[in-house]
Structure 1
Amino acid sequence: MLRRARADDVEQLVALTQAAYRGEGGWTTEAHLVGGARTDGDEVRAMLEDPSISLIVAEEGATLHGCCYTHREPADEHGIVRAELGLFAVAPSAQGRGLGGRLLEAQAAALRADGVDVLMIRVLQSRPELHAWYLRRGFVPVGRSVPFPGNPAELKVAGLGMDVMERELHPARD
């Protein structure tokens, strides 16, 4: 079942994202590229309190198996509304069953209905399998990279950045 995250999910959300991003096993791990914690309880609680963020979880029984958030940005000078996809994680034990795609499409549908034009993600460089996954789901590279948003001391590959990819949610405007 997909639903909005709640305050009582914080501990499981932190553990889930740590396992998916920094754990061993699962194809989404970044442990060979980045050390340290992926998130913490304070960051997740701040997301839950921010009205511009939608954080959804995939739950089976009382266990969370996946999550992702979107952060809606104000319209740009051309009237285009973007939302950033992040904290996108599926537990290693639940990977390979389409859960990530269902989470992504649920967020995309909700954003489209809410008038968002473009879904954007920043993908860690040196992860061609992740880039390929997003390409298959309609994202395209925009030819721009940004610095790693976390502590640069946690990078195991100096200078590693994030490549920006976007997916149109509505037909292009004239």
Structure 2
Amino acid sequence: MTVSQSTDLRIRPARPGDVPEIVDLVQAAYRGEGGWTTEAHLVRGARTHADEVRGMLADDAVALLAAEAVTELERPSDSPEGGIVGCCYTRQEPPDVNGLVQAELGLFAVHPSAQSRGLGGRLLESQAELLTAAGVDVLMIRVLQSRPELHAWYERHGFVRTGTAVPFPGDPSWLTVEGLGMDVMERPLRRV
């Protein structure tokens, strides 16, 4: 897949027909080689699968966005029907006891050949705008420990570390570093 330096994107809700392309994209970004977001050295196994993505699309609390290259030259050569170069989902939670609404950010991926061009930031800001309009107060993400470059990227985009860590949510046998967990980071979207 090759993406031009001046990629024009259309960020839109993902559709059922996007599922195979999203699965391939996420696998390339998280478990492939060549991109700075790969976790292949820390985690084995598939990052997602088609049933999980279809489940997200069927869940009313989830907003799954796809970033699609809009010109033919910017579409991946291995995907003539698509051109999805990024995706991310948010799952909105019900208000907590104080009335605060939180959403979790996840499945956030940009194809390795399109990384480091601002596409991830554009995708993140699109989600943040949607969530703010929907009344969400805080955006939360869990970031794999031992990834200081990812922590720094999220900090540059308004996230702060909460000091909370949670266990790795997948099969612990997939970890190449025993006991590796996830650090919780949050970004306020509205004045809390």
- TM class by shorter chain equals over 0.9
Cα shift readout 1:47-84 (whole Å, capped 9, x = no counterpart): 00000000000112421100000000000111000000
Which residue is 1:46 aligned to? 55
Question: Does the alignment pair 1:147 with 2:167?
Answer: yes
CA distance in 2, matches of 1:170, 1:144: 22
Cα shift readout 1:111-140 (whole Å, capped 9, x = no counterpart): 000000000000000000000000001100
Question: Does the alignment pair 1:5 with 2:25?
Answer: no
CA distance in 1, matches of 2:157, 2:131: 16
Consecutive unaligned residues in structure 1, runs of 5 or more: none
Q: Quick one: which of 87, 97, 106 aligns to 2:117?
A: 97
Which residue is 2:7 aligned to? none
Aligned residue type for 2:52:
E
Aligned residues: 172
Question: Does the alignment pair 1:55 with 2:75?
Answer: no
CA distance in 2, matches of 1:7, 1:100: 22
Under a length normalisation based on structure 1, what TM-score does the superposition of the two structures give?
A: 0.98
Which residue is 1:29 aligned to? 38
CA distance in 2, matches of 1:163, 1:96: 23
Aligned residue type for 2:49:
D
Moved over 4 A (4+): none
Q: Percent identity?
A: 67
Which residue is 1:16 aligned to? 25
Aligned residue type for 2:87:
C
Consecutive unaligned residues in structure 2, runs of 5 or more: 1-9, 71-81
Q: What SS does the corresponding residue of 2:98 show, helix, strand or coil?
A: coil
RMSD: 0.6
Which residue is 1:81 aligned to? 101
Which residue is 1:164 aligned to? 184
How much has 1:29 moved relative to structure 2?
0.1
